[in-house]
């Protein structure tokens, strides 16, 4: 690959945006560089389910023509972005990683996709994911697993492993993920990237194929906190097409990231969650997390311990609420209206076609969760299971409220371990579910959360993530504290952690 093209894929989104605005490089050149990178490595990473080279180049040429006319364009105009395959996009299949939607091309754009286009960004293609976002490893995709660019024998996290791997493999400077219980943050942690779950309702869910409607949230995947802030600013904001969208000003996350880069946290109170500081973390994760907390203190932050006593019950509550909502949402995939239709030969009844289509179209994890959810919602069990889980959810939210009365942000490890090997936990659902033990509480409460790199574990040399959490609609706090921590760690390492990733 040409050295110049190779270098462009290493530039941050911010640097690309400024270089494009100054016409030091064209959007077509930037797009071509990333398409060539995808062609060079994605046969091994499998971050993408669909690459739209023709559409990407056409969009880039449109941006270049607008600049040549002297049009004033947004900062990220011409910057490439990858989109998780759970967001509707005209002209490309949206499969949600499932056989049941193989080949389905939406007739409309999700609001997030529409806002990316309005910002002049170049959409490279759709990224791989666990089927309907059910998983923590991207091994539950009907189209094969994604591989971690740090070690191709290991998982890239899930459900949005494709988006994180696209960013970590230098195939895209930015990507969109979705986070229902950690599906942006957990992949970010294990791939050495930055992932943000915005406040629930801060980014529109219109056109996001629903898994659990009260938990799902789209957000940015990036290699730096500043880049995540730029993408966050593009996709956030009220949308009348989403009844859960918050009609309030978007916090200035870009300014917060700039302020944080000054690496001064005097006056900021950071809460160390006692219930997320137990013995369930690998030694390397614990070591890097402890160091990150010490760095925060060294930047002037006051670190105090806070208690969230109901967090130990969050995992169980989540795995009742999510399957229940999934059971309801996935009922629409019945082989009658769109997607896979099995047995439609005139010899089977409508009920038989539905049963055959769902049996053939859904994978084992999707079936497991649909059955769990259907049972939890059934007559005689609703109050005992789903109703009780919602009460726990209320208590988790109250725990956060009490914590944020004392501190500005709370902090924890993002994941209990570094990336595990492909196949290691795929047949052990409980072990897989425990990967999200630290990320789930933020989804239950609807607050904002971020994962950013904290270094590499000594035992395997793989990335470790640290998680920051902030109150609803205080997403800017994540970016201030995250950028300060990132700047201090980069000063210590001498470069971004992702630059240590083995070359593919």
221 pairs with which residues across the strands?
175, 195
> Distances from the Cα of 337 to the Cαs of 105, 131, 272, 278, in angstroms?
13, 19, 49, 48
- The strand pair at 194-197 and 448-456 is best described as antiparallel
Distance CA 279, CA 191 (A): 23
Q: Please give the distance of CA 25 from its chain centroid, rounded to a whole number.
A: 29
Q: Which of 377, 277, 238, 373 is nearest to 319 (CA)?
A: 373
> What number of other Cβ atoms are within 10 A of residue 113's Cβ?
27
Among residues 159, 169, 324, 327, the one annotated as catalytic is: 159
Dist CA 151 CA 143 (whole Å): 20
197 noted as active-site residue:
no
Q: Omega of the bond prior to 159 within 30 degrees of 0, cis? A: yes
**136 is an active site residue:** no
Give the tokens for residue 181: 């219980």
Q: Is 126 in the active site?
A: no
Q: Of these residues, 26, 84, 137, 197, which one is catalytic? A: 84
Rounded CA-CA distance 115/105 in Å is 19
Q: CA 389 → CA 176, 328, 374, 376, 448, distances in Å?
A: 29, 16, 15, 10, 21
DSSP state of 222: E
- Give the active site residue among 98, 163, 183, 245: 183
Phi-psi region at 376: left, alpha or beta (left = phi > 0; alpha = psi -120 to 50) = alpha
Enzyme catalytic residues = 84, 159, 183
């Amino acid at each position: 690959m040409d050295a110049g093209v190779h270098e462009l894929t290493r530039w941050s989104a911010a640097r690309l945006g400024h270089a494009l605005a100054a016409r030091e490089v064209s959007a077509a050149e930037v797009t071509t560089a990333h398409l060539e990178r995808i062609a060079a490595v994605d046969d091994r990473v499998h971050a993408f389910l669909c690459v739209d080279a023709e559409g990407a180049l056409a969009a880039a040429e449109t941006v270049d023509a607008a600049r040549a006319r002297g049009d004033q364009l947004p900062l990220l105009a011409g910057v490439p972005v990858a989109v998780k395959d759970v967001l509707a996009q005209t002209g490309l299949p949206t499969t949600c990683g499932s056989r049941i939607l193989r080949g389905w091309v939406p007739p409309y754009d999700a609001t997030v996709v529409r806002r990316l286009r309005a910002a002049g960004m170049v959409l490279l293609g759709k990224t791989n994911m666990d089927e309907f976002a059910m998983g923590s490893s991207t091994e539950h995709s009907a189209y094969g697993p994604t591989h971690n660019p740090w070690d191709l024998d290991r998982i890239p996290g899930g459900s949005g492993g494709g988006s994180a791997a696209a960013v970590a493999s230098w195939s895209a400077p930015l990507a969109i993920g979705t986070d229902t219980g950690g599906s942006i943050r957990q992949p970010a942690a294990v791939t050495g990237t930055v992932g943000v779950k915005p406040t629930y309702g801060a980014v529109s869910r219109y056109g996001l194929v629903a898994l659990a409607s009260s938990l799902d949230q789209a957000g940015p995947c990036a290699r730096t906190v500043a880049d995540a802030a730029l993408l966050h600013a593009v996709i956030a904001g009220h949308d009348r097409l989403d009844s859960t969208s918050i009609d309030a000003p978007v916090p200035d996350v870009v300014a917060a990231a700039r302020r944080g880069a000054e690496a001064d946290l005097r006056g900021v109170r950071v809460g160390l969650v006692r219930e997320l500081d137990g013995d369930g973390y690998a030694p390397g994760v614990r070591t890097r997390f402890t160091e990150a907390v010490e760095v925060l203190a060294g930047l002037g932050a006051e670190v105090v311990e806070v208690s969230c006593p109901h967090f130990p019950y969050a995992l169980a509550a989540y795995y009742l609420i999510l399957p229940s909502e999934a059971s309801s949402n996935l009922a629409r995939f019945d082989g009658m209206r769109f997607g896979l239709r099995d047995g439609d030969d005139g010899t089977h009844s409508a009920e038989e076609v539905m049963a055959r289509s769902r049996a053939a179209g859904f994978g084992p994890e999707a079936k497991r969760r649909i059955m769990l959810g259907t049972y939890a919602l059934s007559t005689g069990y609703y109050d005992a299971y789903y109703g009780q889980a919602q009460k726990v959810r209320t208590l988790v939210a109250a725990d956060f409220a009490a914590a944020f009365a004392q501190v500005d942000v709370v902090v924890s490890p993002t994941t209990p371990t570094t990336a595990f090997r492909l196949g290691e936990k795929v047949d052990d659902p409980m072990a897989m579910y425990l990967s999200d033990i630290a990320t789930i509480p933020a989804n239950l409460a609807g607050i904002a959360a971020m994962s950013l790199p904290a270094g590499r574990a000594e035992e395997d040399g793989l990335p470790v993530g640290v998680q920051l959490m902030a109150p609803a609609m205080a997403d800017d706090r994540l970016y201030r504290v995250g950028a300060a921590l990132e700047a201090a760690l980069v000063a210590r390492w001498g470069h971004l952690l992702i630059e240590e990733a083995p070359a593919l």
